[in-house]
Amino acid sequence: MPFCSQIARAQTDNMAGPPTEAAHWLLIEDPSPWARQAVEGAAWYPEIANAVQQWRAAVPDLRIQLIRRRLTTWDVRGSIRCFVVRAGCNPAVHARRVSHYTDLAALDVPSLLQRGPLTLPAAPLVLTCTNGRRDACCAKWGRPVAAAARQAHPEGAWQTSHLGGHRFAPTVLVLPAGMHYGWVEAEAIPTVVAAHQADTVYDVSHCRGRVTQPRPVQAACVALRKRLRCTAVDDGTGQVVAHPHDRVWQVAVQMQGRTHRARVLAQPGPAFQHSCQSDAPKPSTRWQVVWR
């Protein structure tokens, strides 16, 4: 039976407009085998669950990811690395080390996310989803990409738990820029890293969007980048200006010194298997952007 990533490619599924919307991220090192729900399924999670609830109450869009260099391999033995990241045009990255997972509860994550401006690390964080228990595609296609990233970018490359959109595996998120990519080939990783070190977007045809923005805005920004051949990471911000119908949005995008207005429609696409965990076909969403 084919993998869901192969099925999506055959359907020429539109990857723009990913399900992930989060400007604030907490990355926690855990090189153990991850559960399907990686964070909540971690053995240590109950020890910090109350702190997580408080963080999420203060920062509703906080996204928590597990990271590792590779399975059973600590970055520094005896130390748990974590990163508190504010993504987007006003970025911040706070790197921390703790001795025990219980120590994570003492982190004032909301305060760290408000702190800045800061000197950012020279190496962007390149996260490749490899959570095979969430979907087989993430392990099969993600691990070769993660290995290539580790070789090309050893300081900033991490495997991560589910990012969303496993049918676009291998998927890669670059922080703090917040750019999310799909169907990334291992040989392309050095180019991905070089692009973001130069504050530019890697191949827009692989770009799912910038996770700091709402999905309709992400879809519009990707479409406009293709139209204008714009690759500067921070040249492309937008907002929803009206939501007249359930699956229709009016958006405004600022790019190359102009405001561009568009009508974004979330249209039903063909139904097919979206996950290797289920054989049931699921309707896809095709994002149509009509410029005014």
Do residues 82 and 74 make contact, with C-beta atoms less than 8 angstroms apart? Answer: no
Mean pLDDT of 119-135: 81
Report which residue type is found at 21.
Answer: E
Q: What is the pLDDT of residue 1?
A: 60
Residue indicated by tokens 């190496």: 123
Number of neighbours of residue 268 by Cβ within 10 angstroms: 10
Q: Are 72 and 95 in contact (CB under 8 A)?
A: no
pLDDT at residue 61, rounded to an integer: 95
- Which class for 182: exposed (0-12), middle (13-18), buried (19 or more C-beta within 10 A)? buried
Question: For the segment 38-57, what is each residue's pLDDT rounded down to a tens digit?
Answer: 999 999 999 999 999 999 99
pLDDT at 11 over 60: no
pLDDT score of 156 more than 80: yes
Which amino acid belongs to residue 249?
Answer: W
Determine the Cα–Cα distance for residues 32 and 73; give it in Å rounded to an integer. 8
Any long-range contacts for 240-247 (C-beta under 8 Å, 24+ apart)? 240/214, 240/216
Instruction: Report domain 1-235's class.
Output: alpha beta
Mean pLDDT of all residues in 244-266: 94
For residue 98, the cross-strand partners are 80
Q: What is the largest CA-CA distance in the chain?
A: 57
Which pair of structure tokens corresponds to residue 182?
């799909």
- Please provide the DSSP assignment of 2-43 as one string: --HHHHHHHTT----S-S---SEEEEEE--SPPPSSTTTTST
Per-residue confidence (pLDDT) for residue 117, from 0 to 100: 56
Name the residue with higher pLDDT: 285 or 34.
Answer: 34
pLDDT, average across residues 224-235? 94
> Which helix or strand (DSSP H or E) is residue 220 part of?
helix 215-228
Between 74 and 167, the more confident residue is: 74
Looking at residue 7, what is its pLDDT?
A: 58
Residues 6+ apart with CB under 8 A from 207: 15, 16, 179, 180, 181, 201, 222, 225
User: What's the pLDDT band for 166 if we cut at 50, 70, 90?
Assistant: low
Q: Give the C-alpha separation, 182 to 253, whole Å.
A: 22
User: Does the structure show a pLDDT above 90 at 286?
Assistant: no
Q: Are 220 and 238 in contact (CB under 8 A)?
A: yes
Mean pLDDT of the chain, nearest integer: 88
Q: DSSP characters for 114-163?
A: H----PPPSSPEEEEE--TTT-HHHHHHHHHHHHHHHHH-TTTEEEES--
- Please indicate whether residue 166 or residue 249 has the higher confidence score (pLDDT): 249
Q: What three-state secondary structure class fits 263?
A: strand
What per-residue confidence (pLDDT) applies to 276? 54
CA dihedral 172, 62, 31, 78 (to 10 degrees): 130
Q: What is the pLDDT of residue 197?
A: 92
Q: Where are the domains of the chain?
A: 1-235
